[in-house]
Amino acid sequence: MRRPQSALAVVIAAMMWSGSLAAQQDRTPVQRPGGPWPIKTREHVDLWLHGFALLSADTSQIPLFRRGYRDSMIVVRNSAQQATRLDTVRVALQQTLASTPQLLNAQFYALHFTNYGTLRVSLQLLTQSKGDVKAVRDKDQQRFVALAANYFSTAPEREFAEQFSIGLESESQRFHHANWLETQRTRAPVLARADSLWRSVWFPKLAGFLRGTQQRNGEIIVSPVVEGEGRTITADPAVGTTMVVTLPPSVDRTVEVLYGIVHEATGSFAAVAVTENITPRQKTAGAGDRLQTAAALRAGLLLLQRTLPAEADGYARFYLRLLGLPQPAAGAAASSLEAAMPISPEILETMKKQLDLYLGGL
């Protein structure tokens, strides 16, 4: 899932933070950098998405969060007997989310930052300035306010951001940080295996498509909070594209990380094909949004059929499972996904022609 680009281009300046959560993050595992499109983890991204998962009613065709995530976290939190401030403000935050659906776009906000402390500073500045960039003089602070106001533009939205971020600090201190460290420990083999597969097999095969779609550089954040539907933004030219994909619970499911990368990488590609093949009236009626899910799934399948054909069946089975559909017989997964996610011949042909351009003779 990719956040629609705003006309506001914001480059976040690095700021120091000495808060307790930032200090905790200094002790988290260090990942090996290097190479194009590194795979990494980010505690503050997991914390932010964790909060939204606890608050949101997930009714998407492909779940926005790992299926069963909220229920499993409630069980773990209850067994630990660790109530947090997020519990105190939960009902009020849920009411605001229900009345302001566009706040779900704020799930992407954490992707603009490298740690939670800096994110928290940006929201404190937003609250103090009431969203008015002119109310702060420092240029770096003005950038923070401009970015935050782009996500939280009204007084109720700013109050949501303030209470949510304070609640997450408490959530981290009393529960999430320790749970996150344990999750990183148990899933380290998955991360290592995903990194190896990505660098040795998948990235070399997908590099032509990434170049053709102007995704030459970026970073991949793996998160246990999401599953088949990730999060993607392109905000900082120095970083490129930032995408969040799943971090599955066991090594035998490592390939799900790669399926998620393909799905996120083809999102904009599919959106262009949809836009080019619907009328303005259809677009106004929301047809583009409805077609996007199917087109994105089909685009990922097409890309794998061209570049890594042996992986196309597994990709199709993964998304059929998330759609709640039965697993087909051997060799029938691709056709089953195509039947479950129909798109017009025009959209399909547009995507095939573009793939021909990007992949050449493959």
* 278 and 309 co-located in one domain: yes
* 97 and 228 co-located in one domain: yes
Which pLDDT belongs to residue 63? 95
* Average pLDDT over every residue of 274-286: 89
The tokens describing 31, both together, are 């990942």
Distance of CA 358 to the CA centre of its chain: 25
* Nearest in space to 51 (alpha carbons), one of 33, 70, 34, 38: 70
* 185 and 324 co-located in one domain: no
* 228 and 340 co-located in one domain: no
Interval 97-116: pLDDT, tens = 999 999 999 999 999 999 99
Interval 347-356: pLDDT, tens = 999 999 999 9
CA distance 277 to 271: 10
Answer whether residue 18 is part of any domain.
no
* 166 and 72 co-located in one domain: yes
* Nearest in space to 213 (alpha carbons), one of 260, 274, 264, 256: 264
Residue 243, beta-bridge partner list:
220, 232
Which pLDDT belongs to residue 4? 55
Range of the domain at 282: 266-359
Answer whether residue 254 is part of any domain.
no
Which pLDDT belongs to residue 26? 42
Which pLDDT belongs to residue 24? 42
Answer whether residue 16 is part of any domain.
no
The mean of the pLDDT values for the chain is: 90
* 196 and 280 co-located in one domain: no
* 83 and 186 co-located in one domain: yes
Beta strands in the chain (DSSP E): 39-40, 218-223, 231-234, 241-246
- Residue that finishes a domain, picked among 185, 218, 246: 246
* 155 and 302 co-located in one domain: no
Which pLDDT belongs to residue 18? 32
> How many structural domains does the chain have?
2
Give me the sign of the Cα torsion angle 108, 247, 195, 314.
negative
- Residue that finishes a domain, picked among 215, 246, 277: 246
Which pLDDT belongs to residue 118? 96
* 181 and 294 co-located in one domain: no
End-to-end CA distance of the chain: 27
Answer whether residue 322 is part of any domain.
yes
Answer whether residue 14 is part of any domain.
no
* 276 and 241 co-located in one domain: no
Which pLDDT belongs to residue 58? 87
Give residue 34's pLDDT band: very low, low, confident or very high (50, 70, 90): low
Which pLDDT belongs to residue 287? 81
Give residue 314's pLDDT band: very low, low, confident or very high (50, 70, 90): very high
Answer whether residue 9 is part of any domain.
no
CA distance 357 to 350: 11
Q: Is the pTM of this model over 0.85?
A: yes
Answer whether residue 338 is part of any domain.
yes
* 169 and 79 co-located in one domain: yes
Res. 138: pLDDT tops 50: yes
Answer whether residue 261 is part of any domain.
no
- Residue that finishes a domain, picked among 216, 246, 276: 246
* 150 and 230 co-located in one domain: yes
